[in-house]
Amino acid sequence: MVSKVYIIDDDDISVYLTTMVLEEAGFAKEICTYTSADDALADLSFTVPAPLPEVILLDLNMPFKSGWDFLDILRPYEATLKGKLDVFILTSSIAVSDKEQARNYPLVCGFLHKPLDEESVASIKRACTRRT
């Protein structure tokens, strides 16, 4: 079981739904939800050693800072975070271009379409198992 997971999504219903599914699947000990990238970034401390989430489920289409903006902000820390933190894109977008763009970010371990279902959760688990 993953110790901590972040859900970053401005869509409240989507957050509600994702949380429900993760709880149902007993995916994480702790589920933190953020409706904006800025809120999430505020909790992510890269300077002081602090417990990082092992998994981040990231929405792309958000006001002010999009999912891509969030990933761009993490770029300087990629080397540090790689292997400790897996980002999974969770988006309603079915555009192929988004999936292509995600390949440019090494931290992104998977591209998932909403709604999050048991199967998707299983794939996240498998990815995490491989890592550990």
Partner 1 sequence: MKVNFTQPEALALTPDFYTSIVRHGSELITVINWQGNYQYVSDSVGPGLGYAPEELLGTHVLELIHPDDVPIIGDELLKHTTGQTKQITLAPFRFRAKNGDWHWLSCVSTNMLDDPHVRGIVTNSRDITAKMVALQQKKESRAYYKALFFNNPDLVFTLSTSGRVEACNDAVVDLTGYTREDFPESHFADFVLSEYHAATFEAFHQALAGKSCTFESCIRHRNGQKRHLSVTLVPVVLEGRVLAVQCIAKDITNEKEANLLVKAQSQKLHNILEAMVEGFFALDTAWRYSFGNTVFANFLGRPLNELMHRQIWEEYPFLVDTLFYQKCLEVDKTRKPVQFDQRFDDLKAVLRFTLSPFEDGILVSFVDITEQLKAQEELRKLSLVASKTTNGVIITNSQHEIEWVNEAFCNVTGYALEEVVGKRPGDILISNDTDSRELTWVREQLALGMPMRKEMRSYHKNGEMVWADVTISPVANERGEIEKHVYIHTDITERKLEQEQLLKTTEHLYHQNEDLQQFNYIVSHNLRAPVANLVGLSTMLQKLDRNSGRFMQGLQNLETSARRLDDVIGDLNKILAVRSTNLQASHEMVSLVEVAAEVALSLQHLLTPISGRIVLNLKQEDLLWANRAYVYSILHNLISNAIKYKSAQRDLLIELNSVRKEDSLQLHIKDNGSGMDLETVRPQLFQLYKRFHAGPDGKGIGLYLVKMQMNAIGGEIEVESKPESGTTFTLHFKQAAYGQQGLHN
119 touches partner 1 by CB under 8 A:
no
Strand 55-58 versus strand 28-34 pairing type: unpaired
Based on the shown chain and the rule CB under 8 A, indicate whether residue 101 belongs to the binding site for partner 1.
Answer: no
Of 81 and 112, the one with the shorter C-beta distance to partner 1 is 112
- For residue 44, is it left (φ>0), alpha (ψ between -120 and 50) or beta? beta
Which of 33, 95, 31 minimizes the C-alpha distance to 61?
A: 95
Does position 14 bind partner 1 by CB under 8 A? Answer: yes
Stretch that binds partner 1, among 15-23, 47-55, 71-79, 122-130 (CB under 8 A): 15-23
Answer for the pair 69, 100: CB distance below 8 angstroms, yes or no. Answer: no
Is the Cβ of residue 14 or residue 85 nearer to partner 1 in the bound state?
14
Does residue number 21 form part of the binding site for partner 1 (CB under 8 A)? yes
78 near partner 1, rule: CB under 8 A: no
DSSP 87: E
